[in-house]
C-alpha cells in the first residue's frame, strides 16, 4: 500500500529530525524513515559540542543561524537538551600557533564575522585556569557550549512526531525512485510517495546519492570518544587545540569527555566499529600533558559513532543538481551536531519558500559535478 505525504526524509539523526520538525512548523506533514532508531549513530553519540569556533568559512552562516536556535532550544523542543553556554576555547600551544590564531581572527573580521576573539595568555588562564603555563593564548567563541546529543536528537524526534510527522523506525528505506512527479520509498511492506525527498541518511546518504546519479566523494568514518573517572572541577568551557587533535569538556559530575578526531574502523553493514586503542592513548596523553590535573584520572569507557566525511570536509546541503524535489543534507564531516537545528530550519525554507536568506551556496552538491553548475 502506498501512502501519500508532503515529504519523505530518509535518516533519523539530528538533521533529519530537525528538518521534520521545521517542516511541521511550516505546515507540512512529512514522513521520517530511520533504519535503526533516532540518534543511533553519530547524532546520538558525538561529543555534543555546540561550536561556532574554528569552522570552515562556507558553513559559518549556517552555524550562526543554528546558534540562534540553540539559545532558545528549550522553547522550541520543550526540553533544554542539557545545553550549557560556557564558551569554547581554542588553545595555542606555542607562539607559531598563536600567530595562526591571530591571522584567523583577522580573516574572519574582514569578512564581517565577529564571533571568534583572539585572547592572550592572561585571558586564556582566566577562562581555563588549569591549562599548562606554556600556552600563550588562543581564540574564544563566548556563545558556544555543549549539549547532550542523544537527549537533543530524541527531543527533535519527539516534537516532530507531536506536531504531525510520521516516524518510521527500525525499517530501512528501500527502492528509492521517482515516478510521475513523486518520490517513492519502500518501508517494509508499505511505501510512501511525496513530491519531496530529503537525503539525510548520514553515513548511508552517499549510497543514496550515488544510486540517484549524483555521486559524492564521501567516506565512512567513526570518530572516537572516551570518558574519564571523576576529577575535581577545573574547567567550564569546551577546549579544542590549534595543532594536535583534541577536544574535551568536563561534566557537572566531574567526568571528562575526550575526543578530537582520532578514528575507529567502521563497518556500515554491521552497524559496528572497531576502536583504535593506540590513538585513544594519544588523545589521553595530549590531555594529560596539557592539563596536569588530569594525570590521576582513568579512562572508564570509549566508543565511536559512524558518520560521513566529504573530501573537502564541508556538508552536502541543498537541492539536487539533477532531480526536481530531491534535497541533500549529509556529509557533515565530524562537526554536524551544532548545525542540526539551523540546517533543519533552512532546509524547510528551501522546500517551502524556494530559497533562504542564510548563505549556503558553497555547500551544494553541484561543486562535485562541474557540468551541472
For the cut 90, the answer to whether the pLDDT of residue 32 exceeds it is: yes
The whole-number average pLDDT for the span 226-236 is 94
Q: What is the pLDDT of residue 371?
A: 57
Which run of H or of E encompasses 266? strand 263-267
Report DSSP state, residue 40.
S
For the cut 60, the answer to whether the pLDDT of residue 353 exceeds it is: yes
Could you tell me which residues come within 8 angstroms of residue 167 by beta carbon, excluding any fewer than 6 positions away? Answer: 12, 20, 31, 32, 34, 38, 157, 160, 161
For the cut 70, the answer to whether the pLDDT of residue 352 exceeds it is: yes
For the cut 70, the answer to whether the pLDDT of residue 21 exceeds it is: yes
Could you tell me which residues come within 8 angstroms of residue 149 by beta carbon, excluding any fewer than 6 positions away? Answer: 14, 39, 43, 44, 45, 46, 47, 48, 337
Work out the widest C-alpha separation in the chain, in whole angstroms.
67
Exposed, middle or buried by CB within 10 Å (0-12, 13-18, 19+), for 232?
exposed
For the cut 50, the answer to whether the pLDDT of residue 372 exceeds it is: no
User: In whole numbers, what is the pLDDT of the chain averaged over residues?
Assistant: 95
What is the share, in percent, of the chain residues with pLDDT greater than 90? 92
Dump pLDDT digits (tens) for 253-266.
Answer: 999 999 977 999 99
Query: Do residues 26 and 187 lie in contact, with contact meaning Cβ atoms separated by under 8 Å?
Result: no
Report DSSP state, residue 179.
E
- C-alpha cell belonging to residue 23: 517542516
The whole-number average pLDDT for the span 83-104 is 97
Amino acid at each position: 500500500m502506498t501512502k501519500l505525504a508532503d515529504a519523505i526524509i530518509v535518516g533519523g539523526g539530528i538533521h533529519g529530525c530537525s528538518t521534520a520538525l521545521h517542516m511541521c512548523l511550516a505546515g507540512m506533514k512529512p514522513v521520517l524513515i530511520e533504519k535503526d532508531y533516532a540518534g543511533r549513530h553519530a547524532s546520538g553519540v558525538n561529543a555534543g559540542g555546540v561550536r561556532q569556533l574554528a569552522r570552515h568559512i562556507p558553513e559559518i552562516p549556517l552555524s550562526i543561524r543554528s546558534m540562534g536556535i540553540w539559545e532558545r532550544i528549550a522553547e522550541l523542543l520543550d526540553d533544554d537538551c542539557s545545553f550549557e553556554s560556557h564558551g569554547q576555547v581554542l588553545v595555542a600551544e606555542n607562539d607559531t600557533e598563536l600567530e595562526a590564531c591571530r591571522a584567523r581572527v583577522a580573516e574572519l573580521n574582514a569578512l564581517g564575522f565577529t564571533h571568534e576573539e583572539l585572547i592572550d595568555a592572561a585571558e586564556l588562564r582566566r577562562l581555563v585556569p588549569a591549562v599548562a603555563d606554556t600556552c600563550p593564548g588562543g581564540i574564544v567563541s563566548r556563545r558556544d557550549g555543549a549539549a547532550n546529543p542523544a537527549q537533543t536528537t530524541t527531543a527533535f524526534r519527539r516534537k516532530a512526531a507531536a506536531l504531525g510527522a510520521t516516524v518510521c523506525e527500525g525499517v530501512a528505506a528501500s527502492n528509492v525512485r521517482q515516478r510521475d512527479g513523486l518520490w517513492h520509498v519502500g518501508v517494509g511492506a508499505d511505501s510512501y510517495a511525496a513530491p519531496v525527498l530529503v537525503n539525510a541518511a548520514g553515513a548511508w546518504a552517499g549510497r543514496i546519492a550515488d544510486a540517484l546519479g549524483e555521486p559524492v566523494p564521501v567516506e565512512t568514518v567513526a570518530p572516537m570518544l572516551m570518558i574519564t573517572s571523576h576529577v575535581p572541577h577545573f574547567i567550564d568551557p569546551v577546549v579544542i587545540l590549534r595543532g594536535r587533535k583534541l577536544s574535551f569538556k568536563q561534566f557537572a559530575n566531574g567526568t571528562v569527555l575526550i575526543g578530537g578526531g582520532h578514528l575507529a574502523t567502521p563497518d556500515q553493514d554491521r552497524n559496528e566499529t572497531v576502536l583504535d586503542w593506540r590513538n585513544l592513548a594519544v588523545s589521553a596523553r595530549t590531555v594529560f600533558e596539557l592539563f596536569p590535573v588530569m594525570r590521576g584520572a582513568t579512562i572508564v569507557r570509549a566508543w565511536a559513532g559512524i558518520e560521513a566525511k566529504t573530501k573537502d570536509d564541508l556538508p552536502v546541503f541543498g537541492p539536487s543538481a539533477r532531480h526536481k524535489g530531491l534535497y541533500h543534507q549529509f556529509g557533515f564531516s565530524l562537526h554536524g551536531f551544532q548545525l542540526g537545528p539551523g540546517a533543519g530550519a533552512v532546509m524547510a525554507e528551501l522546500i517551502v519558500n524556494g530559497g533562504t536568506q542564510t548563505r549556503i551556496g558553497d555547500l551544494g552538491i553541484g561543486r562535485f559535478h562541474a557540468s551541472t553548475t
